[in-house]
Amino acid sequence: MSEDSGIADVAGARIAWWAQGEGSAIVLNHAGVADARMWQPLLSELPAGHRVVRYDMRGFGRTRAAAGTFSPSRDLAGLLDMLGIERAHVVGASFGGLVALEFASMHPDRVASLVLLAPALPDIEPTPQLLAFAEAEERAIALGRIDDAVAINVEMWAADSSPEVRELVADMQRMAFELQLREGAESDELEPPVSARLAAIEAPTAIAIGDRDVADFTAVAERLLAGLPRASLHRIPDAGHLIALDQPAAAARLIADHLGG
């Protein structure tokens, strides 16, 4: 299937995007340890009859930005405006799931449905494992040891993934670190946080967690299942945190089934 691509000028950023197919839009929001390349393995598995859009968020991949604060969910709204998309099925992985939730809370009329793959929330009490990871990553970055910070992330988020996935995650995370340190753009926080807005998100939502993911994301998934009016929870066997990379066919099937339902 042929793919279009381009650059969208949005609020001080040049956002790189790719799109394929025709029909109702599916928008893919990548994880914070990744970029739009994480979706490549499942693109051919997605159902026909849709326009599938993926993009690099500010601070990732081929997107470029100026220093200053920004809102990832407002960036998404600006990108959809540039592409002429009024309403979409929104898919988000990890941090991209948080962006999808924030977008749905701010623009409920623009979201036909949500699929959240190991989504994040801003105010979950972290486990000792997640705290230790964050401290180790911060320490490595403060010392200028980017390779060490990359390795810490690969071990945390793709420890049991295939060598190919680990290599891709390392490349995506290294690029993100280099961009973010050079550009100095910082995302602002939604107030009140989206955790306090869940009851207002009425889009049908499929939440997925991998059976090898860290415990924090099971807690997030259960909180979302309890707080979202129209949510279902799905457990993906033999998948870690990056479900779309570990089990792309299962992730695509979940998206297809959710759209069909």
Q: Which of 64-74 are b and which e, b meaning 16 or more Cβ less than 10 Å from the residue's Cβ?
A: bbeeeebbbbb
Q: Is the pLDDT of residue 2 over 90?
A: no
Mean pLDDT, residues 88-105: 98
Q: Locate all alpha helices (DSSP H) within the chain, ordered by sequence.
A: 40-43, 72-83, 95-106, 128-142, 146-158, 163-183, 215-227, 243-246, 248-260
Could you give the 3-state DSSP secondary structure of residue 117?
strand
Q: Which residues are CB-neighbours of 219 under 8 A, at least 6 positions away?
A: 124
pLDDT of residue 252: 97
If one looks up domain 3-123+184-260 in CATH, what number appears? 3.40.50.1820
Question: Which residue ranges make up each domain of the chain?
Answer: 3-123+184-260
Confidence grade of residue 219 (pLDDT, cut at 50, 70, 90):
very high
Percent of the chain with pLDDT over 90: 94
pLDDT of residue 1: 60
Reported pTM: 0.97
d(CA 231, CA 119): 13
Q: Using one digit for the tens of pLDDT, what is the confidence trace for 233-251? A: 999 999 999 999 999 999 9
